Amino acid sequence: MHPALSISELLNIIFAHLDQRSNLNNARVCKQWYHSSQAARWREINGWRDFDALFRKLAPIKWVDYMNKRKEFSEYPRLKDWERFEEYSKLVRTISLDDSEKYNAIFDIVGQTRPYINIFPNLYTLQWNATRKEFHYLLFVHPNVKEFIATLPPTSTRQAEFETWVPLFVDSISRMPLLQHLEIRCDEFEPTTRHRLLEVIKGLRCLRTILLPRYHITARIIEEVSLLPHLKKLSSQETGIDRTIFTFPQFDPCLRKEAFPSLTTLSICADVQSSSQFLSQRYFPSNIRRLHLEMPSLENPGAVRSLLETVAGTCTLIEEVSFRDQDVHDHREMTPQDQIGLETLRPVFACPMLTTLEIRHHYPLALGTPELEILASELPSIETLLLNEGPIHHPERSPLTLDVLLIFSSRCRKLQKLGLYVDASVSITHVLDGQEFHGFPELRSFSVGLSHIEDAESVALFLGQICPPNCEVALAGPETRSVRRNMWRKVNGMLPTLAKMRLAERERIGKQVRMLEVEVERLRALQRS
């Protein structure tokens, strides 16, 4: 055996990337490999199958009501059983479970017989998906937990008793004082629950990341969490409650001199005027690198430009700017004055470190081919560029065709993610004939929303000429447009093969050219001699 395979740290890394069957075989090699394979096996408890396997180490488990899917221990765990269980539980770093009633009896016995409170002493990440009033998850809530991710059901499906449980759930978060990552996924909290949550968060001094439900980053929350010394990210979910039924409190946070000493990522939801005033405050953190702005109502392009000017002037280190202004309930007819154009976006050209620009507007962007050429020339280092590929209100056909991709492939060589709303039904197969062009060297995702398409084969042939093999076509939009969606899925399925064929053909031609060059040099040498 090679000496390197006796290094425990190296074995742990290798075994962590192997499947369970391979690690079972590795456990039979020697004692050292056994311990490393066990560490890899029990590192993550992901789902009830892993949970069942782990707690069978404590005591045998049997079905008591197969029809209702209920399980329990066939015997009470004794002290020696807990000692055996500890050998495995101390290896657990991550627990991810959904709510389930079939293990209620097991949870009860574990809570009654455990010899110590913290049965997972090295647990780092806890992820819990609650569907009903539930307290058994508290068995996993330990002071050593660093990451807590909780998913609550939509408000429309919650029972009345569940609403009384939510505040108790929020209070239980305080049992994890060393939390570094707090993520709560739901659509809405009651105002009293939001107040409880704020009081809990204030006491979690180690927090580095906070992810809250959409629209829940209020002025008061910003003021209170601004004093957390290690907070790097304060963000919100992209999806959640409909804003037409959400009451937006006044957004006027006041920051102190010591506010946000470590913050680099911030999401806020406020109108243009309130957002601009907040960004212009004297003590607004100058080290912000990622800023996500969402408007509670539709804004005109002039106001959006003013906001972007404030961003460019205040956040000198900004790398990522995201703007969202969409309302599915607004059915006003579109006018040219409603559309965001190049002049609206021009302020971001003054951000020298910008690598990500994301615009989500209610109406299509007023960007034609000339404007896109200017934009691409001004942002040569851009890596992610999403230009409203899925507008809520849009004409049937976009004025842009797929040939605009050549603008970005030649000018934005670092582009990894691109989003455009285009008309892919226009024939562009002739565009690449007999001309030099640059493909995307690093593009990983081309987001099309639900751009119009008629011929999947011709679109795939074109994209296969300019996209790398691992590029994926990303879709978005209502499920009702299944025909268009299926056409783009067909493109996505053909693209990797066509891109690989293009690379293979280029390599073949390149090899032939090199062989011809060698032959030419040989003939020249013969002629000189």
- 180: pLDDT confidence band, cut at 50, 70 and 90? very high
Check residue 429 and give its pLDDT: 54
| Average pLDDT for 168-188 | 90
CA distance 189 to 163: 9
**Distance of alpha carbon 103 from alpha carbon 89, whole angstroms:** 18
- Mean pLDDT value across residues 31-44: 71
* pLDDT value at residue 5: 58
Q: For residue range 51-93, list pLDDT tens digits in order.
A: 888 888 888 888 776 666 778 888 889 999 999 999 889 989 9
**Predicted confidence (pLDDT) per residue in 185-227, tens digit:** 887 777 788 888 899 999 999 999 999 988 888 889 999 999 9
Residue 480: predicted pLDDT: 42
Read out DSSP for 468-509? -TT-EEEE-S-TT-HHHHHHHHHHHHHHHHHHHHHHHHHHHH
Q: pLDDT category, 347, cuts 50, 70, 90?
A: very high
Tens-digit pLDDT profile for residues 503-513? 777 778 778 88
Element (H, E) at 184: strand 181-185
| Element holding 73 (H helix, E strand) | strand 70-73
Tell which wins on pLDDT, 242 or 150.
150
CA distance 48 to 186: 22
- Comparing 26-40, 369-383, 440-454, the range with the smallest average pLDDT is 26-40
Could you tell me what percent of the chain has a pLDDT over 70? 83
What 3-state class would DSSP assign to 234?
strand
Average pLDDT, integer, range 354-359: 96
**Mean pLDDT along residues 285-314:** 91
Residue 434 has a pLDDT of 53
> Global pTM?
0.83
Beta strands at 61-65 and 70-73: parallel, antiparallel or unpaired: antiparallel
Q: Is the pLDDT of residue 157 over 80?
A: no
Q: Is the pLDDT score of 248 beyond 70?
A: no
Q: How many CA atoms lie within 13 A of 124 on its CB side?
A: 6
Provide the mean pLDDT of the chain: 84
The confidence score (pLDDT) of residue 479 equals 46
User: What is the predicted pLDDT for the residue at 105?
Assistant: 86
247 has pLDDT over 60: no
pLDDT at res. 430: 52
Q: Are 455 and 428 spatial neighbours (Cβ–Cβ below 8 Å)? A: no
Confidence grade of residue 495 (pLDDT, cut at 50, 70, 90) = confident
Domains of the chain: residue spans and CATH? 1-41 (1.20.1280), 42-207 (3.80.10)
Under the banding of pLDDT at 50, 70 and 90, the label for residue 383 is very high
